[in-house]
Structure 1
Amino acid sequence: MEAQTTSHKHIPVWPALISCKCPRCRVGKVYEHGAYHLFDNKMLLQCKHCGFVYEKEPGYFYAAMYVGYAFVVAELVTSGVAIGVLTGSQNPWLYVIVMLSLVTLLSPFNYRYSRMLLLYFLTPGIRYRQELS
């Protein structure tokens, strides 16, 4: 009888994070739809590939609000500096309109990737297991 060998492909962290794959197997999806699927940005309860439960405990994703806050601050600072450098305008309404539009347009991105960063980098105990991929 031949020994059965299985080769599990290593999946890099950044492509898996950007495509919103499970942090444990990096194969299963975390969200049902894309980031800009209108009115339905639903997160799956568990990975369909390895069975990993995404919400470790009730209220687990409240910590993602702090990551999302950091995203918004970075977006506001970057857009404020860019407006100042590119236009040289001192009109506060230009800043307000551009910044609020930017934050509104990027809110699905912030929601999704704040949770992904929490799962991938800020939660101890969640590790990639190559044998599951």
Structure 2
Amino acid sequence: MTPTELKPAKKVHVLEAFIKAKCPRCRRGDIYSTPTYSFGGQKMHERCSHCGLHYEREPGYWYVAMFVSYAFNVAEMVTFAVGLHILTGSNSPWVYVGVLLGVIFILSPFNYRYSRVALLYWLTPGLNYEPWRAEDKFKVAPPEEKQD
């Protein structure tokens, strides 16, 4: 197949790409190599398999994702605490502590993954969607392995 026969890539909506944890620049390559909930942990690719974007923009880049994860946790705790109060009307702090600790534990893999994805998508200056990179003719060859 010649490059002229290649079809242009379908434009992927930002929310669809965010939910599927795709590369923010081309929205084709995967950011993670493992699912959200797995016993093996969450492993990120170093680079986008399609456009070659290096995900860790600078040393210590992922520390900012901790603040995003903290914001997710606060929003989830407030939401669940209000919902719990509406559903049960309980005044016992132990009910709230137990439920909220359970929610934090269950949602921690989600928060870990999507705090990094949100950081890449919306909080990184200069990193924008470039639809032309999604086309097959702009696919980057995989990096060569180092010879010892």
TM-score strictly above 0.5: yes
Deviation at 1:132, TM superposition (A): 1.5
Map 1:15-94 onto structure 2 (within 5 A).
15-94=16-95
**Aligned residue identity for 2:74:** V
Deviation at 1:128, TM superposition (A): 0.8
Q: Distance in 2 between matches of 1:59 and 1:4?
A: 42
Map 1:116-131 onto structure 2 (within 5 A).
116-131=117-132
Deviation at 1:7, TM superposition (A): 2.1
Describe the superposition over 1:15-73 as per-residue Cα deviations: whole angstroms up to 9, x where unpaired. 00000000011000000111001132011100111110000011001111111000000
**Aligned residue identity for 2:4:** Q
Is the partner of 1:68 in helix, strand or coil?
helix
> Quick check: 1:4 aligned with 2:4?
yes
Q: TM-score, normalised by structure 1?
A: 0.94
Long gaps (5+) in structure 1: none
Q: Aligned Cα RMSD in Å?
A: 1.4
Is the partner of 1:90 in helix, strand or coil?
coil
Q: TM-score, normalised by structure 2?
A: 0.85
**Aligned residue identity for 2:67:** Y
